[in-house]
Structure 1
Amino acid sequence: MYIPKHYMIQSEDIIYEIIDQHGFGTLFSQHNGEPCATHLPLNLNKEEKTLYGHLARANEQWKDAVDQQVLAVFQGPHCYISPSWYETNKAVPTWNYVAVHVYGQLEIIKDNRTIVKSLSNSVEKYEKPESSYQLKDVDASFVEGLSRGIVAFKMNITKIEAQAKLSQNHSVERRKRVIQHLEESCQHDNMQVAELMKREL
């Protein structure tokens, strides 16, 4: 990923926070000599430095993804930045965003207990604490039957690249004006970008 120096995220904690908060990623690999991508939730294990996920067994991307380096992309908040928000119109539009690229090797998981644990971790992460649904309460034979239709994997991370393009190349005064306009929009991504820009200030 091309990353200008002033946009680079170097803090491992911040990178892991982005992956955790925006865990619906895109897994890229080469399949049959062509680029292939699957959109899927990926769960980070910080201690292992791995990502856990699964593909539908019918999705043949898994068949050759294990023999190559793969890329998982996590897209954080992003939004359009209008030059009309600046103190002058002698400028061009741009886009502010946060993105993390994770490189690694896939390892297929065959142990059923590990597969169920991976699925349970996803449920625990995304279900609300007061939710009546827990995977452990579902009939084990039903879960086992469904698990035959997936290929579970862990991705052993070899490299991470991350950037936050948040108007750092502009003056503090201009960035404050951008933040003000983003907050006035009330759109979720705009509000998140505004909050990240405040941190940078």
Structure 2
Amino acid sequence: MYIPEHFLMETEFIYQSIEENPFSILVSESKNVMEATHLPLLLSDDKQSLVGHFAKPNPQKESVGKEVLCIFSGPHCYISPTWYETDRSVPTWNFTAVHVRGILNIVDDPEKIQRSLITLVNRFESKDSKYQINSVDTNYIEGLKKGIVPFEIKITHIEGKQKLSQNHSIERRNLVISNLELMPGENEKAIASLMRKSLNQ
């Protein structure tokens, strides 16, 4: 990913961004064809790997032992030149994104698979939810497991980009923030919040 120095995301925020935006695009090459799967990936506790699973028919399961690319997209939005203090400007797009490269390996340890599925459910199910995966019929769960291919991606390289108008003046950045905060969209408000934080760094 092309990252000018002033858009470089700090390591701490990279991990935070993955935690906050776990639905990723996993890209790999299979038989000279580029394949991509949209799926949630969770960062391991030691931050050394990503954990997830494919549907069994997915051809990307053949990427075992190969390097894959995982793309995590954060908030993003259009930036209008009408928000600037000058007419000598053009539109742009502010966003955050993280790219992770790593080696994909299939997980076949039953206990590890079970733990990963429980972790996945607990991560996304609301805290007051009545659903408990451990209370679901064991035979039913075991049947569903036959239809997935659990995997772990050992991270080899990680990088993040946060394009938040850092290449503009403080005055202009404040104008952009003010306009974004007036908009109803969640992406616009999220970018405004990140821009405001970046002013204080």
Bin of the TM-score, shorter chain as denominator length? over 0.9
Deviates more, 1:51-60 or 1:110-119: 110-119
2:6: which partner in 1? 6
List, as ranges, runs of 4+ consecutive aligned residues in structure 1 with deviation greater than 2 Å: none
CA distance in 2: counterparts of 1:67 and 1:45, whole angstroms: 19
2:121: which partner in 1? 123
Alignment map for 1:148-167 (pairs within 5 Å): 148-167=146-165
Calculate the TM-score normalised by the size of structure 1. 0.97
- Check the 8 A contact 2:65/2:105 in 1, yes or no: no
**AA aligned opposite 1:9:** M
CA distance in 2: counterparts of 1:135 and 1:114, whole angstroms: 15
1:73: which partner in 2? 71
- Check the 8 A contact 2:25/2:36 in 1, yes or no: yes
Gaps of 5+ in 2: none
Query: Match for 2:189 among 188, 191, 196?
Result: 191
CA distance in 2: counterparts of 1:67 and 1:49, whole angstroms: 16
2:42: which partner in 1? 43
> Shift of residue 48 of structure 1?
5.0
**AA aligned opposite 1:135:** I
Give the secondary structure class of the aligned counterpart of 1:185: coil
**AA aligned opposite 1:138:** V
Q: Report the aligned-residue RMSD.
A: 0.9
> In 2 relative to 1, CA 183–141 (structure 1 residues): closer, same or farther, beyond 3 Å?
same
Taking only the aligned residue pairs, the percentage that are identical comes to 46
2:31: which partner in 1? 32
2:20: which partner in 1? 21
Give the secondary structure class of the aligned counterpart of 2:65: coil
- Check the 8 A contact 2:53/2:151 in 1, yes or no: yes
CA distance in 2: counterparts of 1:81 and 1:34, whole angstroms: 35
- Answering whether residue 171 of structure 2 is matched by residue 173 of structure 1, we say yes
> Shift of residue 46 of structure 1?
3.6
State the Cα deviation string for residues 135-181 of structure 1 (Å, max 9, x = none).
11111111111011000001000110111000000000100010011
Give the secondary structure class of the aligned counterpart of 2:182: helix
> Shift of residue 127 of structure 1?
0.7
**AA aligned opposite 1:140:** T
2:133: which partner in 1? 135
**AA aligned opposite 2:35:** C
CA distance in 1: counterparts of 2:178 and 2:47, whole angstroms: 40
Give the secondary structure class of the aligned counterpart of 1:136: helix
Alignment map for 1:36-115 (pairs within 5 Å): 36-47=35-46, 49-63=48-62, 65-115=63-113
**AA aligned opposite 1:158:** T
Give the secondary structure class of the aligned counterpart of 1:91: coil
CA distance in 1: counterparts of 2:87 and 2:132, whole angstroms: 54
> Shift of residue 67 of structure 1?
3.2
CA distance in 2: counterparts of 1:88 and 1:48, whole angstroms: 44
**AA aligned opposite 1:40:** L
State the Cα deviation string for residues 2-35 of structure 1 (Å, max 9, x = none).
000000013x221111000000000000011011
CA distance in 2: counterparts of 1:6 and 1:76, whole angstroms: 18
